Structures are given as C-alpha cells and as structure tokens.
Structure 1
Amino acid sequence: MSQLRKRGAKKSGSTTPSVAVTGTDVTKEAEQTKVSDSNSVGSKDPESYYYIACAVITILATYVRFDRISFPDKVVFDEVHFGKFASYYLERTYFFDLHPPFAKLLIAFVGYLVGYDGKFKFNNIGDSYITNNVPYVAYRAASAIQGTITVPLMFWTLKTLNFSVAACFLASAIVCFDNAHVIDSRLILLDATLNLTVAMTIFSYVKYSTYRKQAFSRDWWTWLYLTGVSLSLVISTKYVGVFTYLTIGIGVLHELWILLDHKRGLDLNELAYHFFARAWTLIAVPFALYLFWFYLHFAILTKSGPGDSFMSGDFQETLQESADTKSSKEVHYFDQLTLTHLNTDCFFHSHNHQYPLRYEDGRISSNQQQVTCEYKETNAEKEVATNDANNWWEIVPGTVTGTSEFVEVFTEDVVRFRHVGTGGYLLAHDVASPLKATHEEFTIVYDEVAATRFNETLFKLKYTDATQSNKNKRTMIKTHSTQFKVIHVDTVVAMWSHDDEHLPEWGFKHQEVCGNKKVQDNDNSWSFKTIVNLKPEDPRSKYTPKKVTPQPFLKKWWELQFLMFHHNNILTSEHPFASQPDSWPLTLSGVSFWNDNDSKRQIFFIGNVVGFWLEVALIAIYGGIILADQISRRRAVYVLTDKARSRLYNTCGFLFAGWAAHYLPFFLMGRQKFLHHYLPAHLIAALFAGALTDFLCSHNTFGPARPQINAIKLKVFVGVSVAAIAVFFYYFQAITYGDISLTPEQVRSRQWLDIKLHYAK
C-alpha cells in the first residue's frame, strides 16, 4: 500500500494539460510524497527518431495505396457517382448530389489538369476505363495522395502531444494498414478527402493548443485559423463534418470554461475577446469558405443537366441551354400532353385493362381501368413513350361551361384530366390502391359515371418548389419547367408514384399511381413534358430564344441547401450492404465494391479486424480506468499522479470525445448507414489507441523514481500489434486490391465474422 496515499494537508501542484479539452479538471488533492511524480526520470525520444519513424510509415502508406492502383481498369462501386460528377463539372452541366461540392470540385480539378473532356459518364459498375479513354489513374492517384498524407499527419499529431515514437507509430500504422482506409484511398471517392480534412482539423487544433499560453500571438492566430479552415473543408466535403465541429466545440467550450475562472485574472472584456476570436475563426471564416465552394459550384454549372428536375422552375431558368430555355412552352386548356413524375421520371399512363377484382392479399378493388406510371430508361424508349396515346392527357377546365382553347393554365386552377388513349376521365376515390392499402386508387371513368361523379374527377394544380415557400403561388404552367402537385379536390390526396415496388404481371410491371395522404411530401411533384397536339399555326410551335434569368447566389444556395438536407433525411430505403453502428467498431460486416465473374476476383470493403478490435479493447480499458479512478478517489485513495490524470482526462479524454462525437450520433439517424461512415471515428480512435498505449506503458502512480516510460513493454506491445495488423492486411490483400483470384476454399477462409464474399462455392 506504499503507493496509495491518503488525503493530507499539503497538496501537490497540477501539471498543465497538453490540450484543454473535455474531462474533469485535474484536482490538487494528492499529498506531496517523499518522491513525487515530478521526480520521475523523463524518457522523451530523440527528435531524429521521430523523423525516421515518420518517414518509414509514410513510405509504407505510399506503397500500400499506390501499389496496383490501375487495377481494376473498370468502374468500381461509387465511382459511378463521383466520377460522373467530375464529368458534369468538366462539361459545366448541372447535377444534383447530397454532398457539398468541395471534394467533388477537387476530383474535377484533377480531370481539368490532365486535359480530360468529361465525355464518359461512369454509368455502370464494370464499364471499361481503357475503352473510353478515361484518366482514371490520375483520379485515383489524387485520392491515394490524400490517403497517404493522412498517415504522417496522425503521427505528427501525437508527436505534438508529446507522446513517444512508438505510440505515434502505432496510431499511424493502424490507419496505414487498414484495409478499409486503403480501399477508400485508391478509388474515385470522397472519403480520402474527408479523412484527410478530419486529420488536418485535429492536428491544427492540437498544434494551436500548444500556444494557448501565448494567446493572440501570431502562432496562436495562425493555428486557430487553420483549425477553422480545416473544419470548413470537412463540412464542405460531407455533412458528417458536423461531428468534427462537435469535437472541436467540446475542446473550445472547455477552454472557455477554464478561462472563465476568476483565478485566471481575465476581465469581461478579455473574456469577450477570447470568445469572439474563436467565433470568428471557427464559425464565421469557415462559413464564408463553405459558401465559396457553392459559389464556385454555381459558377461552373451553367448548363442544363440531370439535376434540373430537382430544382424549382425559377432556378432552372438561370441555366443556359436548358429544357426550359429551348423547349419550354406555355400550357393551354385542351392541350394534349405527356406528364411525368419528377422523382421517378416515369410517364403517367393508362390502358384498357382493369384492376383485378381481388388482389393477392385478398383485398377488393374497384375492378375499373388501371392508371399506372411507365418508366423508360433510354432516350429512344422515351421517344416511343411520348408517341404513345396511352401516355397522352388532355387538360380540361374544371367547370361545367368549359373554357375556350388558348387560355393559359395556372397553378391553383381546378382541372380535369381526359385520357386521350381511351377517352375516359381520371378519377380518385376512397378505395385502397393495389400496393398501398392506406393510399387511394386512381382509375378512369366514362360518360354518365364521369358526369354523376363529377366532383371526384376534379384536381387542383398546386405549385411546388424546393423550399415550399411558394406553395400557394399562382403562376402560368410551362412544360419542362413548372413543377406542381395534383391534389384531388374531393378527398385531398396528392397523386403519387413510387419505384420501390412494382405492380404484378396484371399491371405489366408498371409503377403504381395512387393518392398520397401526405400532401406536403416533395415527391408528389409532377411536370408536363410535351404538348403532342401542337398545330403549326400555333405561335408556341415556333422556338423563340429566351433570355436566361439571373438569380441571387444566396437564393440559389438556400434552395440547394434545403434540397440536400431533405434528400439526406429521406434516404432510408433498404440496401443489401447497409449496416448499423453497433457492427462498426468490430468491423463485423462490409460492402462488396466490385467483382468479376470471369476471373472470380473481387474487392470487398472491410476494415482490418486486428486494428479495429485493438481500438475497442483500449476504449474499454479506458472506461475501466476512469471508473476505477473515480471510485477510488471517492474513498480518498489517490493512485494516479496529477500529471497522469491530466494526460488521462484531458489529452486522452479529448481523443475519446472525438471518437464518440464521430460515432454515437449515427445511432440517432434513420438514413442508410455503411461501414465507411465509421472511418473518421476509426481514425480518431487510432490516435486514442496510440495515446492510451503510451499511458499504459508509463509510470503513472506515486512511488520511487523510475523512467517515465517502460520502453521495453511499450516497444514489445507496439511491435506485436503492428505486426499483427500488417499480417491481417497482407492476408486480405486479395480482396483489398482485387487482382488475385482465390479458390473457393481460400475465399471461405477469409469469411470472418459476418463477412460474406463472392465465389465461396
């Protein structure tokens, strides 16, 4: 019990923490001992050792990320998205994506530097890069460079926090040899940029903290600004960057709380200056930079493209060579038109076939004419659909007396839809739809029925845009550009279609059309596409060039911002490789990125099990140490020195808080989640693992003087851990690089945990 000290009258001084972060402030309750913690013999490694070790791990990181980077020479997984977006940038064609523009602009910039024209659109996984002359190696090399830089940046972060060479090497090796990080750093994806900017943020904040006693000095301002810039780059890459903001916010709030202590001697003016300095550098400047990437985004994407349909009509009018500019026409009563559902791009359709009297689940239908939505993929198919009378609808005034032709149709008008192909009128009624028992059926009625049930054939056209701010707006409807909802007047449901489930054979595998009671949903939107009965003498048949209408940047930014958040929130559909957060820390499941049936080769996205499990073990140990320390101190038993507690609660605590901030919020999300969402948390957990390993191998208790670090124990532990991590990486390289064909037996030997690989039989 010589190392356990009871409360005494004299208290030892506390050591200033390396980083002012989360956790309790180190108390001064330990009695001054005969040999205090200040008498420990320091064992800081020579500076040259850091440079040598950092050079070694950087070379290794470069090798594993650039090795075989040209394989496969085909589109892999989400390269279909981010390669496509780069091509749209290069062609200046407007597109819509859920993520902010910074990383996508970076990819496009690489294409611009190598002179690529963006003709290839990365449409399908497995499409050949060689055949289409795509500079895919340059694109992938940009990711590999970022992934490589991340590794030494982690090393230098722990070095800045005064941890040993071995601890720095362990943390950076966990990411260097992590299979998931390597895969994400070798493909045309956003994750290499995200992980690099997260590492930049942590490093900048740690570096800034070393100048906290030199407040408002040039170095203090420099690293605080760099922290803000790094934060902005994180959130300008993906919105999960808000978790990095949360991490830095925890540290900053703890700093301000300490500065608020009157013992610090700061008056209110000085406190205000500290507060506004952080608000300016960590909020205002990052937000301005965040806006800049969107400004650049809009400045580049000036032409109409596949993203038009997501945007409001006013926004579309700002685009050159758009459908609105070239072929938008005013819609008049008695026009015969095609009508498409915006979310699924399908044609509103009916045909002379009835709903079955009884559905497969036993429910009864009206047994009347089917109304469906017909999807066409290619332009040729769409042209055929445009010429099909079953896709033509005549817009008729919703009054008994009628209205002459050449009268424009406006939103807020009440109309009827006459199906040109069969001559009946569209009707909605309180009968359950085929696939959605809670939704209303749409059908076609004729003659006397259409007359006696007149009110059930009335529909109101409600203007819709991305922000819902103009939902009661009365505006002239134009083909291509005006988006609207079709609201059934009698039962107040919105006409809707969906592609998550198709009708059975009796419905020709078409999409269902039904009445959605959630009228406010944005996916209820439709638009008119083509007027099919336009006469040559009609002035609308002649193209008149229209002037592009400018729109203020902030208005465009706000509309796009709203849409991005909305579509992120509704991304809840099932995916075969989606996983829940509880499986991530132990990397229990992964994602199939690419496979080749001919050669039986595959790329499977999975983390390095040894590294992942090592992090989890150390996180659990940390929780146990914190609990034991708190319980023992409640009984006035002081085991850890104040210096050790400072490292435990402040330095390790900050990194633990960073891991938790990047991981735990995913439990609250309803959207699709994948293993790659965990990589920023894994990166910070690697820093934590290095820091706690150093702590566990250090002299942290009161007692006789001894070296601060048990070098042998530390080096053995780190050596064994890194070797095991490297062995796992090597063993799984076949599914990391995808260039090695495995026998079924070899495939099965790599199906650890819940990993399900191709070609196991």
Structure 2
Amino acid sequence: MSQSLRKRGTKKSNVSNVTNQEDDIELEKTPVSYKNSEKAHYIGLVAVTLLAAYTRFTKLGTPSRVVFDEVHFGKFASYYLERTYFFDLHPPFAKLLITLVGYLIGYDGKFKFDNINDSYIDNNVPYVAFRSLSAILGVAIIPVMYLTMKTLKFSVPACVLSCLLVCFDNAQVIESRLILLDATLIFSVALSIFTYVKFTTYRNKPYSKQWWSWLYATGISLSCVISTKYVGVFTYVTIGIGILYELWYLLDYERGLSLGDFAKHFFARLWALIVVPFIIYLFWFYLHFAILTKSGPGDSFMSAEFQESLEESPLARLSKDVHYHDIITIQHKATGALLHSHEAVYPLRYEDGRISSNTQQVTCVINEDGKEDDVNNQWEILPASDEPKHGQKVFTNDVIRLRHIGTSGILLTHDVASPLRPTNEEFTIAYGDEAAERFNETLFRLRFSDGTSPSTKQKLVRTKATNFRLIHVDTTVAMWTHDDELLPDWGFEQQEVSGNKKIQDVDNVWTFETIVNLPADDPRNNYTPKIIRRIPFLKKWWELQFLMFYHNNILSSEHPFASSPESWPLALSGVSFWNDNDEKKQVFFTGNVIGFWIEVCFLAIYCGLILADQVTRRRHVYILTRQARSRLYNSLGFLFLGWIAHYFPFYLMSRQKFLHHYLPAHLIAALFTGGLVEFICSNNSNLDNRRLKGVHITKLIIMVSALSIPVIWFFFYFRPIIYGDVSLPPQEVVKRQWLDIKLHYSK
C-alpha cells in the first residue's frame, strides 16, 4: 500500500519534492551478522524457482487422457484453430494463449476433447505442449512472488516461505499442469501485485521513466487478469485500494499539491490503469472475432444478425430446410440426446408412492452412430390442422404435432407429474380416438431460441442450425430433459423427458438433427452458400458481453462439484478431476490442508495484533515502533485487504462456486503469511531497548522451517493423487481421506 508521504519544503515546493516518501516498510538494521544480500536473495530465488519447475513439470504427460475441464478449454482451442464460432463465459485472452501453442506446433484442431478420459495418444493430440503453457506460467508465479516480497523489503526466509506455500500446494500444482485458464489467471494476479508494489518504490520520482513504466506494467497486468476471467475485478479492487489510499494522501493540503497537480496524478492513473487496460481488453475480443469467422456451435447463443456475419461451417452443408411430413430426429442441445419413445409404459406407482398415467414412456437416448436409423427415435412433423401440407416449409412460431414413427402414436403432455420431477409434466403418447379427443394436448409451438430466451421471430426451420423450444400450447410448458439423474430400470436408465414450467431455462433448447426420409433427388440436397453481412466490432462485442454476463449470472443451479466459500480456506473438500477404473489411479483436486490452515492461522493472528494495537493505543500505551506499525498497517495491511477482496465477495454471489475460485486469494494469503511470520520473529517493541530492533534471524529460520516441512510432507504424501501416476491400495487411500475428502478406490 501507499507509503507515508512526508511534506518537504514549503507548500509551493516542486511536486517531485512534496511527494518524497519515507521508506516506512524497511525495518531497522537486523542484528547479529545476518544480511539480506543480493547474493542471498539470488540463491533463494533460484532455489524456489527450481522447486516450482520440479513440481509443475514432473509427469506432465500423466494422465495421457482428457482431465476434468480440459474438455472445455482444449475444445475451445480446437474451435479457434478451425475458426468455428463458439460461446464461452470467460474473456478470450487465456484461451488465445492456449490456441497460440497449438498454432505454433502445427496442430489442426480436429480432436474436440468431447469426454473426460478420451485418449490423447490414440488421437495424436500434442497435449504435453498444451499443458506446458500452464506449467511455464505456474513456475513463473513463484519468482514473481519472491520478487514481490523482496520489493516489500522482506528477508530471504520470509520470501522463501511465501513461495513454498504456493510451490507445494496441491491445488496450485494441479491447476498449473492441465489445459486450464487458472495458471494464466493466477500468474496475472501475482504480476499485478508485483508491478504495483514496484511502482510504489518510484513515488518519489513522479512522471519519471521508471514511474511510468511500472504504472503501465500494472495496468497491462490488470488487463491480463480481467481478460482471463471476470473474477479479475477483485484484483482491480485490490490495486484500487492502494491507488485510492495514495490519492487521498496526495489530496491533503499539507502535501503541498495544487488541485492541478493532483489532477495530473489522478488522470495519469486513470489513463494507465483503466483506459489502457480496457483498450487491451477490447483487442482480445477483436482478435476473437477476427479468428472465429465460421459458423459453429456457439451460433445458437447469438442473434440472427450476428449469425449472418459468420461464414457457414462445413456442418452447414448438412443443414436442410424442414418441411411438413418430414420424418426427423430431435436432439436436445445440452445433453446431445435424441427424443425417443418405445412400447413400455410408466409404472402405475413410482418408488415414492406417486401414481402415474401408466401410459407409454417418452424418454431421451444418447445420440450415437446408428441412432438415427432407430424408428423409436424418429418423428413425423404434422400440421396443427387436418389439411396435408406436403412440401410446405416449417417456420418457428408454427404450431405442430409430432407422430412417433416406431409406434404411430401422437406426442402429448398433460397435467400429470413426471417420474423424477414432481413439479414438471409427464410426456406420453396417445393413439387413435384418444389422440383426437385430446387434440389440444398434442399441440406444440416451435419457439425460436435466440440467445438467452425464446423469441416470437418467424424463421425458416433448418436441421442442425435452428434452435427452438417446444412449447406446449395447452399448458405452456417447455419440453425438457436432463442427464444428472436417469430413470430406473423400468425406464431402461434413459433420460427423463418432462414439461418444464420455466420456459426461459437455457436447457429447454432442441434442434431437428436429421431428415430421415429425404429422397436423393430432393432439391434440398443442393447446397447454396449464404451471403455474409458485416457488423461493427463494438456492436458484436456489446452483444457478446451482455450474453457472457447473463449466462454467468444464471449459473445458480446445483452442481455436483460446487462448494461454498466457507469450506475453502480450510480445504475441507475437493473435486475428483480424473480416475482410471482399470489401474485404480486418480487425480483429486484439493488444497494442501496444512498450508491452508497455516495461512488461516496467521490471518487470524493478524486480526488479533491489529485489535491489540488499537486497544493499547487508546490507553496511550505505544508498544510497537513506528517502523513496525508502518509495516503492520501498510505492507501487511495491503496484502490482508487483497486477500479479503479476493475471498469475501464470493459470499455475495448466487452463481455456482468452486474451490479453484479461492486460488488467487490463497496466493495473496501466502505472501501475507511470509510477511507476518517475519514480523512476529522481529523485535518490534518500544518497551524492549535491550536488543537491537529488527529481525531475529535464528528465530525466523526455525519458524520458517517448522512451517515449511509439514507443508512439503503433505504434498509428497498426497503426491499419488496429484499426478495420478500411482495406484494406491485401499488402506492407503483411506489414510488420505482427510476432513471431507472422499477418494475413489477406498474399498
């Protein structure tokens, strides 16, 4: 944080003089023969960097399969390389870095990372090169942390302790070894803090070359954070706290600055920390749109106008206009499953005692090769009236009926509770006279799905290309399915289909996948390229920005891997990233429990120290020296507020939250812990004049060793579930189930 500003000269002094500041974060000369020499710092820096390289690059090729969220970020890199448009909640910077790796090594992007555990080797994917980007950034975090602590004038042991807490943290290592965004995010956070701290060392030389260089470096680093994930706004808050503090100090009349001089300081920071980073932020989106010029899987999220600015992908050649009386398959967008029915019926009574209609089941089955040829997955599109419409095109907002080819019944939904969701309506099939009598219950409206909500636009319906919600006319529910819970044995463990009363839900979207009965001589087999229209960059950016924020905010549903913020600082839980049932190996994502608890303890100790200092000073008892209070409130206070800014806002969020959201706060807590340990191992008392003021080096080394050894032990004890390269016997797995950690293969 800002160092105290001391007035020098008269109020009309030169600005460069009035902003001179005392070095309030440097302790008095250390006792004994210990010196924080450059050589000692160099040795410490090299040592922790080599340790980081060891932990990040060891067994980087293991597992040789898709692990957890690599299914997303590896897939996005493939889309970039093929230039097909996709939609993601995060800004493009880190994804573009991953793509750059693929481009440099000549990867074609054919592999789409569809499923966890898909083999990289069998599909010739250069996954080690992709993972190396995260590993390099993960290693770079450690020297940046060290230099931050060194710039704050902390000793070698304190610098080393801070680095070891991150270097040997399970979660930090795992995130730095996979094709994910978090290594980029955490490195950018560390760099932002370092560059800002470095900037503070040149405050006595405002507008000098070094002053501008580090101010711009801070802005660029902040831009990298916010351009990777929107939680980067917390880093902006952290740096903003320091900036506002120093501006408030400069505003003081006693500092001798005129309002014009103060305005120069204000606008210099506004330009370098807000305007320039925002321009850089826009640049990554410009590059994003410049690369993704072809139609792709993200089209459905965007407006029709936006979609018309994209070239048609090879998939568009397979897209056909849909006509009435076509026999088609219907695919659910979120799960990829096909609408299905069969002769089996719902049980009269469910396991919870509820009674069903005991009529024909309507379900969904996963779309695999050959599923389109199964008549139980095929449906004929019928007009709402009895008048035949052979050859007439189907448009969104039309009212249609669907006849099941396998059993010749008509699809309907009614006011009967569905098997797994009592609040949703059951889908079933009606025949003959019953279908005629219940005609209104068989009517469905095709609502065009444009971006975030259903639209009344009338658009020609095309297979694969047109997203729609099937809205029941009689009861106004949307057809919906889900794969988080499957039907029991009586439903052949297929997906439930039900009527969702929340028609705005994004999971209600479907497409017509294929036309089964399309003759070879049908004119629809002839492909006609569409006309590409141009849209201004800022208009495209604004539309995408709105959708990204919208979808971020609606991520409030339960997730099996989600966790609450109160469980993060103590590493009470974790996430299974990957497991191999054949060889009984696994990668489990959790923090270094000992390291996490050490950080929490010192955060609590700090609160106690602040409270004790404030209470004693109210009684005019001044225990701490001026230098000690400066370090306690400025250097350590800045880091403490940074931890707060990166952690507590998650309590205010209703969206899904995961343990990896805590890692930036964990990094700052590690910096803070190293600093507070040194503070505790120093003679900071005004009441003890018998000893030299400063760091008691022997005490500090003992304390750092006592804290570091268990952290390193825990890391190596849990090593088999960090790297996923060793199969543990069940008794050893059970020994590693600390706190609420639940591991595979414990039996």
TM-score interval, normalised by the smaller of the two chains: 0.7 to 0.9
Superposition deviation, residue 467 in structure 1:
4.1
* Counterpart residue number, 2:451: 466
* Residues paired across the two proteins, number: 724
Tell whether 2:565 aligns with 1:584. Answer: no
Which segment drifts farther, 734-743 or 483-492?
A: 734-743
Q: Which amino acid aligns with 2:213?
A: T
Q: What secondary structure does 2:455 align onto? A: coil
Superposition deviation, residue 453 in structure 1:
3.9
- Could you tell me which of 126, 137, 142 is aligned with 2:128? 137
Which segment drifts farther, 679-688 or 227-236?
A: 227-236
Superposition deviation, residue 578 in structure 1:
4.2
Superposition deviation, residue 623 in structure 1:
0.7
Q: Which amino acid aligns with 2:70?
A: E
* Counterpart residue number, 1:16: 4
* Counterpart residue number, 1:727: 713
Which segment drifts farther, 615-624 or 493-502?
A: 493-502
- Could you tell me which of 497, 506, 516 is aligned with 1:522? 506
Q: Which amino acid aligns with 1:724?
A: P
Tell whether 2:699 aligns with 1:713. Answer: yes
* Counterpart residue number, 1:168: 159
* Counterpart residue number, 1:383: 372
Q: Quick one: percent identity of the two aligned structures? A: 63
- Could you tell me which of 436, 440, 462 is aligned with 1:455? 440
**Is contact 1:350-1:390 (8 Å) kept?**
yes
Q: Which amino acid aligns with 1:391?
A: Q
Change (3 A) 1:325 1:554: farther
Change (3 A) 1:107 1:506: same
- Could you tell me which of 319, 325, 331 is aligned with 2:322? 331
Deviations 1:104-124 (A, max 9, x none): 222222222223333444444
Runs of 4+ residues over 6 Å off in structure 1: 36-39
Tell whether 2:357 aligns with 1:395. Answer: no
Question: How far apart, in 2, do the equivalents of 1:328 and 1:684 lie?
Answer: 51
**Is contact 1:466-1:562 (8 Å) kept?**
no
Question: How far apart, in 2, do the equivalents of 1:557 and 1:67 lie?
Answer: 40
- Could you tell me which of 323, 334, 342 is aligned with 2:333? 342
Deviations 1:622-657 (A, max 9, x none): 010111122223333332233322221222111011
* Map 1:148-297 → 2, pairs under 5 A: 148-297=139-288
Superposition deviation, residue 612 in structure 1:
1.9
* Counterpart residue number, 2:477: 493
Tell whether 2:739 aligns with 1:753. Answer: yes
Change (3 A) 1:342 1:312: farther
- Could you tell me which of 420, 430, 439 is aligned with 1:445? 430
Q: Which amino acid aligns with 2:372?
A: E
**Is contact 1:316-1:481 (8 Å) kept?**
no
* Counterpart residue number, 2:15: none
* Counterpart residue number, 1:374: 365
Superposition deviation, residue 588 in structure 1:
2.9
**Is contact 1:593-1:604 (8 Å) kept?**
yes
* Counterpart residue number, 1:652: 636
Superposition deviation, residue 686 in structure 1:
0.7
**Is contact 1:325-1:548 (8 Å) kept?**
no
Question: How far apart, in 1, do the equivalents of 2:295 and 2:181 lie?
Answer: 24
Q: What secondary structure does 2:524 align onto? A: helix
Instruction: Extract unaligned runs of 5+ from structure 1.
Output: 1-13, 19-35
* Counterpart residue number, 2:459: 475
Change (3 A) 1:123 1:521: closer
Question: How far apart, in 2, do the equivalents of 1:720 and 1:314 lie?
Answer: 63
Q: Which amino acid aligns with 2:629?
A: R
Tell whether 2:604 aligns with 1:616. Answer: no
Deviations 1:523-543 (A, max 9, x none): 222222333444566533433
Change (3 A) 1:566 1:650: same
Q: Which amino acid aligns with 1:65?
A: R
Q: What secondary structure does 1:621 align onto? A: helix
Superposition deviation, residue 204 in structure 1:
1.1
Change (3 A) 1:357 1:759: closer
Which segment drifts farther, 700-709 or 625-634?
A: 700-709
Superposition deviation, residue 759 in structure 1:
4.3
Instruction: Using structure 2 for the length normalisation, give the TM-score.
Output: 0.88
* Counterpart residue number, 1:678: 662
Q: Which amino acid aligns with 1:412?
A: N
Change (3 A) 1:342 1:605: closer
Question: How far apart, in 2, do the equivalents of 1:720 and 1:368 lie?
Answer: 69
Q: Which amino acid aligns with 1:383?
A: E
* Counterpart residue number, 1:687: 671
**Is contact 2:78-2:108 (8 Å) kept?**
yes
Superposition deviation, residue 329 in structure 1:
3.2
Superposition deviation, residue 621 in structure 1:
0.4
* Counterpart residue number, 1:409: 394
Question: How far apart, in 2, do the equivalents of 1:749 and 1:451 lie?
Answer: 65
Change (3 A) 1:595 1:348: closer
**Is contact 1:81-1:122 (8 Å) kept?**
yes
Q: What secondary structure does 1:464 align onto? A: strand
Q: Which amino acid aligns with 1:646?
A: S
Question: How far apart, in 1, do the equivalents of 2:432 and 2:86 lie?
Answer: 45
Instruction: Using structure 1 for the length normalisation, give the TM-score.
Output: 0.86
* Map 1:500-511 → 2, pairs under 5 A: 500-511=484-495
Question: How far apart, in 2, do the equivalents of 1:418 and 1:606 lie?
Answer: 50
Change (3 A) 1:428 1:231: same
Superposition deviation, residue 744 in structure 1:
4.4
Instruction: Extract unaligned runs of 5+ from structure 2.
Output: 7-23
Higher RCO (C-alpha under 8 Å, 6+ residues apart): 1
Change (3 A) 1:409 1:137: closer
**Is contact 1:467-1:559 (8 Å) kept?**
no
* Counterpart residue number, 1:106: 97
Question: How far apart, in 2, do the equivalents of 1:39 and 1:358 lie?
Answer: 76
Superposition deviation, residue 662 in structure 1:
1.6
Q: What secondary structure does 2:150 align onto? A: helix
Tell whether 2:74 aligns with 1:83. Answer: yes
**Is contact 2:48-2:143 (8 Å) kept?**
yes
Q: Which amino acid aligns with 1:718?
A: V
Change (3 A) 1:543 1:576: closer
Change (3 A) 1:216 1:725: same
What is the RMSD of the two structures over their aligned residues, measured on CA atoms?
3.2
